Amino acid sequence: MQFNWTYEQTEPQLLRTFLKGKGLSKGLLAKIKFQGGTIRVNQQIENVLYQVKNGDQIAVTIPDEAPHETMLLDDQPLEIVFEDDHLLVVEKPAGVASIPAQYHPNGTMANRVKAYYVKQGYQDQVIHIVTRLDRDTSGLMLFAKHGFAHAMMDQELRKKQVSKKYFALVGGKVAQLAQHGEIEAPISRNRNSLMQRQVAAEGRYALTEYWCLAHDDEKALVDIQLHTGRTHQIRVHFAYLGTPLLGDDMYGGDVTQGITRQALHCHQLRFRHPFTQEDLNFESPLPPDMAAVATEIER
């Protein structure tokens, strides 16, 4: 894949410095050097110590990424929300993991995406997950289609320029929920569990913002904005409030309301496209299991 830029500064600059400013990491530059890529200035191959000058035309060709042979193919349907040469946004159903594990090497979103890449005949077939979801959380997932796009999106994540919003159904002390509130409580691993997290003073800073959209005496529909990305953050924070997610038996959620998994759905994904600079906003409606309970609340 080739990327092109024009150098438009009056003062000369090292090509390495210019490319770093465009998001090419030291590792990616090494890959270009040793795995078949090229860096050209005005159609001539140059190394990164070349001094670029105003008006120079820079073209970088990044080598294709061969697939990981151990990644199996899963030809299950893939619901694509958006795709271009750099990014892929898909709908993840509940009950499907994001990535393979030792004892579950297939049946994940990564396996499905690889099968899709192979079917389409794409040259880059390495799976780059930008935003991951728990197995029982549904909604929008973002993949980068090559390593450079992944690096650029990672920068946006670190700068908190990727916005994810979730719908959740919660139970318990719903009358205590504010119409608009924040949960600011540190999260750490529960030492008595391999999976579970908890609010604890020694934990890492975590902030969740929410809006209560509707509620009755037993349950509520909330819209959630994550400001940090801790493991199980939403589930832990709402359990801490005394309003655990419906169906979330790990954190004390009510399993009698017709929801058989944690009632959590990533419904909005917003970010700036790293190459076109277009502001992108994707929306996903409530899935049927959550929609049925939400309709009961609104009656």
Catalytic residues: 134
Pairing verdict, β 187-189 and 87-92: unpaired
Contacts of 33 (CB under 8 A, 6+ apart): none
Contacts of 203 (CB under 8 A, 6+ apart): 185, 186, 187, 188, 230
Place of tokens 């691993």: 189
- Cα–Cα dist 40/6, whole Å: 12
Query: Which amino acid is present at 211?
Result: W
- Cα–Cα dist 120/73, whole Å: 13
- Cα–Cα dist 67/111, whole Å: 12
Place of tokens 């959209």: 213
The closest alpha carbon to 219, from 286, 294, 291, belongs to 294
Query: Which amino acid is present at 191?
Result: R
- Under a CB-based contact definition with an 8 Å cutoff, are residues 98 and 108 in contact? yes
159-185 burial, b if ≥16 CB within 10 A, otherwise e?
Answer: eeebebbbbbbbbbebeebeeeeebeb
Dihedral of alpha carbons 184, 189, 195, 198, sign: negative
Place of tokens 């391999």: 194
